[in-house]
Structure 1
Amino acid sequence: MSDPDIQEATASEPLTLEEEYENQQSWRTSHDKLTFIICHPLPASSETKLEAVQAGEVDAPGQMIGDINFFIYPDDDDGDDDEATQAAAEGSYVGEVDVMIASKDHRGKGIGHAAVTALLTYVHRNKERIIAEYVEGEGKSGEGKMPELKGLMVKIKEKNAASIALFRRLGFVQKGVANYFGEIKMVGQFSAVKATKEYREIVYSR
């Protein structure tokens, strides 16, 4: 994340190595987000069907090219604290998608699009389990009916044309104008967002 262009496009701050390690440790324990490392795509082969991959090989450090995150928030719509409190009480939540491809050499090749569609497919298939873990982490288990993950959103720098185009292709639409920080908000519904139907799950061997 030392590339100034990436920091600008993702609205990120440079982190020390210690801060990076702290972030990695939090990935496994945070109840309000999912984080996945994006690795080089597996080689396509029409002759053989890959059934399993080996840990430490397909996801070795040299294979890692980015990350993708999914954050869960009370659906405050316009960022109002009172609305956020009411939304949480009513069980209305929204998921924010954040994707980063580190090297310019790996951009423009469809990797970001593939990562987002894979994430949305995973979230759609596991919505109930994801929201249940969030509610438990917030200490609200057993309080009435199970909340719903109702919508999706993404915040993008208004000059980041590539990311805007990516999410438009996936069915997201812009809501409002750019904020003070030069970010636009794009929103989508699970029923409208175009998640992939062409995928295959394989065994991850440790």
Structure 2
Amino acid sequence: MLLNQNTLLLGKKVVLVPYTSEHVPRYHEWMKSEELQRLTASEPLTLEQEYTMQRSWREDADKCTFILLDAEKWQAQPGTTEESCMAGDVNLFLTDPGDPTVGEIEVMIAEPSCRGRGFGTEAVLMMMSYGVTKLGLTKFEAKIGQGNEPSFRLFQKLHFEQVAVSSVFQEATLRLAVSEPVRQWLLEQTSHVAEKLYRA
């Protein structure tokens, strides 16, 4: 999505930056993992296909993607490359042409050393806040593969409720409607987040 191509979101644990071609080699290495392919229901791509995918994620109006950086690592050494601080990604897909206020959210903590440290929780809250304030979203969905317990726990902790199960796709759909109290709660949870110009 071109809307976020110049946006950097600075949280306590993670920094969200637009997915650029510089991130592709590391991302491609991650997606060779059979475990990540299974958890994200992804097919392995060639490096060339990964570059094509990155371009589509940047340019398509229905996809909003940020790469997660480990904030501590990124801030500790000025001049550190983003690629060396990458922890995962977080995505919003505007999948319902009939309802532009619903976004499907996904998060992946690909770097094993970054799991279990609250990166996913903060990234999802930051992305939901971005979706509500910048994209006008009022409903979120998460599709989670059966057996992906960490993702179930994360989204249930954030008040998502299971609304459907697909035995064909072996996944459950969780949903959260953004009422006014939920909106206020979400903005409070992300009040520390600073929005900066990416590579100004």
TM-score of the superposed pair, with normalisation by structure 1: 0.71
Question: What is the identity percentage for the equivalent residue pairs of Structure 1 and Structure 2?
Answer: 34
**8 Å CA contact 1:158, 1:184 repeated in 2:** yes
Partner residue, 2:24: none
Rg larger for: 1
User: What is the aligned-residue RMSD (CA, Å)?
Assistant: 2.6
Partner residue, 1:106: 114
**8 Å CA contact 2:64, 2:91 repeated in 1:** yes
Which structure shows the bigger proportion of residues in helix conformation?
A: 2
Aligned partner (choices 117, 123, 130) of residue 125 of structure 2: 117
Deviations 1:55-83 (A, max 9, x none): xx465211112111100022xxxxxxxxx
Query: Match for 2:124: what amino acid?
Result: V
Partner residue, 1:97: 105
Partner residue, 1:68: 90
Taking a change above 3 Å as real, the CA distance of residues 127 and 153 of structure 1, as seen in their structure-2 partners, is same
Deviations 1:158-190 (A, max 9, x none): 100110000001110001234312100000012
* Structure 1 residue 122 displacement after superposition: 1.2
Taking a change above 3 Å as real, the CA distance of residues 125 and 2 of structure 1, as seen in their structure-2 partners, is same
Aligned partner (choices 148, 164, 176) of residue 160 of structure 1: 148
- Size of the aligned set, in residue pairs, is 164
Residue 4 in structure 1 maps to residue 26 in structure 2: no
Query: Match for 2:105: what amino acid?
Result: V
For residues 37 and 44 of structure 1, the distance between their equivalents in structure 2, rounded to whole angstroms, comes to: 13
* Structure 1 residue 203 displacement after superposition: 5.1
Gaps of 5+ in 1: 46-52, 75-83, 129-148
Deviations 1:64-108 (A, max 9, x none): 12111100022xxxxxxxxx7xxx2xx564200011111222111
Taking a change above 3 Å as real, the CA distance of residues 59 and 184 of structure 1, as seen in their structure-2 partners, is farther
**1:1-206 matches, cutoff 5 A:** 1-42=31-72, 57=79, 60-74=82-96, 88=98, 91=99, 93-128=101-136, 149-191=137-179, 192=182, 195=186, 196-201=189-194, 202=196, 204-206=198-200
For residues 164 and 102 of structure 1, the distance between their equivalents in structure 2, rounded to whole angstroms, comes to: 17
Gaps of 5+ in 2: 1-30
